[in-house]
Structure 1
């Protein structure tokens, strides 16, 4: 029996010692502080692309009005805000149109573009319209405009 009692005693003492060590480890900890930083690069906006088509009769002084339907596309990878569209009779680089003798932008009036100002998602589009009419300029020979190809330039922002 004493052998069993001694064995029980060793088991109890060993278990108590393990619990004391294990229990003490549960309450041990280190304190620490730290910080971290990182950076990323935001993309840039992409220029809108604009396409258009026209309906209406041939232009003549105080004659029919042509209606242009334009489509503004956001080719970017994120949402971009379309706030304004301007249409002018001008060269493709925005300079004064002077390609035809005795015919200029002064012979035409461009209406106010109509469209819905909105945020355009990536690869999304917005459609609008604008009118163009040749005006009558009393006392001015407008023969230079006969058969002229009149450039309508769009700018979106």
Structure 2
């Protein structure tokens, strides 16, 4: 029986050694490094439309009182946009001369006072936000201004940021 005990002890020792070896493999690991790349993108913004909403300016005459112009915005974007201010001007190239013997009616015949700062986020949608404080006046020029009678003065409104 002594021989069987040795065989048994050798078998147990061999089994224990194999268990330790197998257990060591189970707990072993490799270390490594790595890197990668990715990206993000921003959206785009469409232009807002600047509207005049004040009562139509009518009845201007040389040296008469300035009349107010105000408005709001149509913002087609899905989110709000920032607007610092609006600039008002007589459209470039405006010139009317019904009577060739008299000077043409041009942008120089009108004085425009710019509106105050908007300085606001304008929400998405139509008729949003507001701007106020602009005025237009037909100046009392030294020359004949008959060509300014009955004209419609085209105005442009531009967002300034």
TM-score normalized by the length of structure 1: 0.71
Partner Cα distance (2:136, 2:18) in 1: 94
Query: Partner residue of 1:113?
Result: 115
Match of 1:150 among 147, 150, 153: 153
CA RMSD, Structure 1 to Structure 2 (Å): 3.0
Partner Cα distance (2:20, 2:115) in 1: 84
1:131-142 aligned at under 5 Å gives the runs 131-138=135-142, 140-142=143-145
Deviations 1:87-120 (A, max 9, x none): 0111xxxx2212x112111111111212421233
Aligned residues: 141
Following superposition, the deviation at residue 19 of structure 1 comes to 7.9
Query: Judging changes above 3 Å, is the alpha-carbon distance between structure 1 residues 41 and 21 closer, same or farther for their aligned structure 2 residues?
Result: same
1:1-157 aligned at under 5 Å gives the runs 24=24, 27-55=27-55, 57-90=58-91, 95-98=92-95, 100-101=96-97, 102-123=104-125, 125-129=128-132, 130-138=134-142, 140-157=143-160
Partner SS state of residue 147, structure 2: helix
Deviations 1:46-65 (A, max 9, x none): 21211113335511112132
Which has the larger strand fraction?
2
Following superposition, the deviation at residue 149 of structure 1 comes to 0.5
Unaligned runs of 5+ in 1: 1-12
Query: Partner residue of 2:5?
Result: none
Following superposition, the deviation at residue 17 of structure 1 comes to 8.6
Deviations 1:101-140 (A, max 9, x none): 12111111111212421233444832012111111002x1
Runs of 4+ in 1 over 6 A off after TM superposition: 16-19
Unaligned runs of 5+ in 2: 1-12, 98-103
- Contact kept in structure 1, 2:76 and 2:125, CA below 8 Å: yes
